Amino acid sequence: MEDWITSGDKNEAEAKDDDERAIAKMLNFKIFFVSVGGGDPTDDFLVRFKDIPRIIKKVSESEIGKVQRMPVVDKSSGERGNHILGQQDSLARQGLRGS
């Protein structure tokens, strides 16, 4: 996940013109909302993402955006984010599942 995030930062920094910059910025999310098994992960689980250079929040802290192209937004700031949907068995295989 960290490689994916740093590549988004790199794409934004290396954009050649205003159009590329706008697209790169739109796709370079600063907030990620995590759900596990259809609900919020535990606080202990979220701690596992502490080294990722982004804001990581529980899915309950997001809402469906009211503006086109903003499918998920932060309830408190209105900033656009991305939803990471985790399945418990998949997370367990990756060693990320909370106890």
Q: What is the pLDDT of residue 84?
A: 84
The one-letter amino acid at 88: Q
Question: Over 80: is that where the pLDDT of 6 sits?
Answer: no
DSSP one-letter code for 61: G
Q: What is the pLDDT of residue 70?
A: 66
* pLDDT tens-place string over residues 32-90: 999 988 899 999 989 988 888 899 999 999 998 887 666 899 999 999 898 887 765 45
CB 23 within 8 A of CB 42: no
Q: What is the pLDDT of residue 99?
A: 42
pTM of the prediction?
A: 0.75
Q: What is the pLDDT of residue 92?
A: 47
- Give the HSE-up count for residue 89: Cα atoms under 13 Å, Cβ half-sphere: 0
Q: Would you list the domain boundaries of the chain?
A: 2-93
Average pLDDT of the residues in 20-34: 90
